[in-house]
Amino acid sequence: MPPASAHRTIDPDLVFEPPHVPDDITAGAVFPIDKSAGRTSFDVVRDVRRLTDHKKVGHAGTLDPLATGLLIVLVARPATRLQDAFMFLRKTYTATLRLGESTPSHDAETDVVETHDPSHLSDDRIRETVLSFVGDSEQVPPMYSAVKIEGEKLYKKARRGEDVDRPPRPITIYDATVTGIRGADVDVRIECSKGTYIRSLARDLGAALGVGAHLTALRRTAIGPYSVEKAWTLDGLRDALSEASGH
């Protein structure tokens, strides 16, 4: 059940989409950022902390380094207190899943360890199986994740070769649509709740089809009503803040 903080009202005046920047950053600012591949969410937070010269900076929903797209960055207490309100909004992703290849991390960050021929699968079966994930369910988080078990992040255990039991978590898939099939690669659009791992969805889809699968591309396109189409690049935000400050 969402905490009370998830029901806080998000003041639209705190959200600064391009080209607008705040006159006073200490009054709070929410910046939608289009994260590039290869950067961690903390990398982006660190960059925004430097650009705004403000220590209290956070984000609302981690993106894996290989993923791109919308990251909500919160600056100063009036904004950071809204973290849960943003985190509990629905998330929308576009992703590419590769059927017939499984990896330990369920994405391209680790090497393929098992292969199966997916050529016998019809497009209709793939579409129907993807659609079957719509609704409420429980999902086992991946070993390569920041979920903590016994006080330690799972990815640290995974890098030591450990595999531990992970309690499943309740999630909701509101929409799951196949937007393209290119041989073994399946393009999908997913709308889901907080806590959903698209990598785990790839794993579970591969298991349901009997051939395995992993994620090869992931982009977060929306968080609630906020779209990546109205998000800052870090360079764009730097230039706008510099111009506003007269530097």
Catalytic residue numbers read 64
Residue 8, CA distances (Å) to 86, 116, 142, 144, 155 in order: 9, 48, 30, 32, 32
Alpha helices in the chain, H assignment, sequence order = 41-52, 77-80, 83-87, 123-131, 154-159, 198-209, 234-245
CB-based contact 196:92 (threshold 8 Å): no
Torsion angle defined by CA atoms of residues 97, 100, 103 and 104, in that order, rounded to the nearest 10 degrees: 100
Tokens at 68, concatenated: 């791109």
The verdict on whether omega for the bond into residue 19 sits within 30 degrees of 0, i.e. cis, is: yes
Tokens at 113, concatenated: 């360890």
CB-based contact 116:42 (threshold 8 Å): no
| Selection from 130, 104, 101 nearest residue 118 by Cα | 101
**Alpha-carbon gap, residue 236 to 148, rounded angstroms:** 35
What is the full DSSP assignment across 125-171?
Answer: HHHHHHHTT-EEEEEPPPSSSS-EETTEEHHHHHHTT-------EEE
Could you say which DSSP state residue 141 is in? P
